[in-house]
Amino acid sequence: MPTPLNVEALIDEAGFSRYQWLILLLCFLVMFLDGYDLAAVAYIVPSLMEQWGLSKPQLGQALSAALFGLAIGALLAGPLADRLGRKPALLWSVLLFGLGSLVTAWADGLNTLTVYRLLTGIGLGAALPNTITLLSEYAPTRQRAMLVSAMLCGFPLGAGAGGLCAGWLIPLYGWQSLMLLGGAVPLLLCLLLWWRMPESVRYLVARQASPEVIRRILLRIVHSPALLQAQSFSLGEQAAGAQNSSSLREVLSRPLAAGTLLLWLCCFMSMLVYYMGVNWMPLLLKEAGLSLQQFSVISALFPIGGGVGSIVVGWAMGRWESNKILAGTYLAAGLLAWAVGNAVGHGEQSWLLGSLVFCMGFASGGGQSALSSMAAGFYPTHCRATGVGSMLGVGRFGAISGVLLGAELLRQHIAPGQIFTALLIPAALVCMALLLKYVLYQRQRPLETRTV
């Protein structure tokens, strides 16, 4: 019997083709629209308060519904993608957040707005793990972390586009126009995804799809005599139970259970650090005595640093041991948070504070993007989407905790410098969890091979 052709080895040896660049672009566009929607909602708040006579706490109810939707969507998306396929799950998620944003334009009160934002959040939350999973399964192993991080840069760029569109559309056409645009474009993208986005070839192998279907996709990536002659295909990973077991049960069973729990802890603490920084940085710097111009510019350096860090940390993870690189990144994030706290506590308002904030964003934002890539590489194909989705779902509760914790610390009149310094604790926990994961899995036996 002819030896099956290893799909993972074929993708690794082929480099990155134009077809894979197309997949990267499509996933990037999904993330771009994800960022647009979450940012656009923040810009319609003043209009809603004025038109509906609502207070900030009342609107907070509707806006927080999207955060819970993000967690729900991430937790549901993984099992759905592992059972039905990455492409159908991604299409449904984009369709849901597109429709949710579209109907938000017709919301006529607080209750309907809350329901629409919850539905939108579920779609947005489901889109992230599916794009990470699909792209990672087409990326060469050495470039996976950098490519996933590059794709995730679409989120802050989309958020920036939401702000630009708000400044142009709302004065001319009202707040509804911003949501109509945020709903119509994802629906058009759905058509493009249905037409051009392939199903994951690794998923097809794991699901024992027709060799001809698999060959047709692979020929768009590389032409080789071995591919043309292959009668069957394989994955260099364990796939026991892929057909009959629950994917959630798989990620919580040996040998993956310990790594899953450690990744959940890492993502929870990582998002707590990053979202506390994103959401409360401006107010904390204002409370520390910085002027409007100063805290606006310095706060903006935090997410910008995260975008740069995503690329650099992803690149480094492709060349050195990923757990150690990421552990060092989070240790740096914690020490930089401590340094920012000390600088703020001593009344620092110069370029030094801005540099520290940028570097803190570089480490915490870059680490968060790279953590998603690490999860995609940790899980085998048959439960990868569930593993990534469950980690991000747990992480979303960390993000919510960061927002709520920041509000409570401010209510308790804790000094801004002390709040920044306290972020060293969750960052250190991430560092220790990653080092423990490295110790547990560095001698992992070679995974068995599945053929089709």
Residue 304: its pLDDT value, please?
A: 78
Residue 194: its pLDDT value, please?
A: 95
Chain-centre distance for alpha carbon 86: 16
Of 159, 395, 375, 373, give the one whose Cα is nearest residue 274. Answer: 395
Measured CA to CA, the distance from residue 68 to residue 72 in angstroms comes to 6
Contacts of 226 (CB under 8 A, 6+ apart): 5, 10
Secondary-structure percent of the chain, ordered helix, strand, coil, rounded to 5: 80, 0, 20
Please provide the average confidence, as pLDDT, over all residues in the chain. Answer: 83
Residue 189: its pLDDT value, please?
A: 96
∠ CA 73-127-181, nearest 5°, is 110
Measured CA to CA, the distance from residue 251 to residue 449 in angstroms comes to 18
Residue 239: its pLDDT value, please?
A: 47
Where do the domains of the chain lie, and which CATH numbers do they carry? Answer: 5-205 (1.20.1250.20), 247-451 (1.20.1250.20)
The string of pLDDT tens digits covering residues 222-259 is 888 888 888 888 876 554 444 445 677 888 888 888 98
Dihedral Cα 133, 138, 141, 147, nearest 10 deg: -70
Return the bridge partners of 450, or none.
Answer: 235
Residue 92: its pLDDT value, please?
A: 95
Q: Are 371 and 267 in contact (CB under 8 A)?
A: yes
The string of pLDDT tens digits covering residues 343-396 is 776 666 667 877 888 898 889 888 888 888 888 888 887 788 888 888 988 888
Instruction: Tell me the average confidence (pLDDT) per consecutive run of 10 residues in the chain, 452 residues long.
Output: 79 86 95 84 77 73 79 88 90 95 90 91 91 90 84 81 80 91 95 94 88 90 83 68 63 86 93 77 68 66 79 84 90 89 69 83 86 85 85 87 76 77 90 92 49 45
Return the bridge partners of 5, or none.
Answer: 233
| Whether the model pTM is above 0.85 | no
Can you spell out the DSSP letters for 285-300? Answer: HHHTT--HHHHHHHHH
Give phi and psi for 2, each to the nearest 5. Answer: -60, 145
Can you spell out the DSSP letters for 326-379? Answer: HHHHHHHHHHHHHHHHHHHHTT--SHHHHHHHHHHHHHHHHHHHHHHHHHHHHS
